[in-house]
């Protein structure tokens, strides 16, 4: 399977929406060339005002 990805310039709200829609807890963060920049986990968003 292909991992779900998000670009580094997307908002946290977008990441949360993707996680909720696909019922996953983390996304691979990539740049515009699809190179790995990191991983964002649902727990990372807990510290924001998103949740």
pLDDT score for 47 = 73
Per-residue pLDDT of 1-51, as tens digits, reads: 899 999 999 999 999 999 999 999 999 999 999 999 999 999 988 877 655
Domain membership flag for residue 38? yes
The pTM is what?
0.84
pLDDT score for 25 = 97
pLDDT score for 45 = 87
pLDDT score for 51 = 55
Q: Which residue range is the domain that position 41 belongs to?
A: 5-46
Domain membership flag for residue 51? no
Question: CA-CA distance, 41 to 44, in Å (whole number)?
Answer: 5
Domain membership flag for residue 17? yes
Number of domains in the chain: 1
């Amino acid at each position: 399977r292909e991992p779900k990805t998000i670009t580094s310039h997307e908002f946290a709200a977008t990441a949360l929406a993707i996680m909720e829609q696909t019922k996953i807890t983390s996304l691979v963060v990539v740049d515009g060339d699809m190179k790995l920049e990191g991983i964002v986990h649902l727990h990372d968003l807990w510290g924001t005002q998103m949740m």
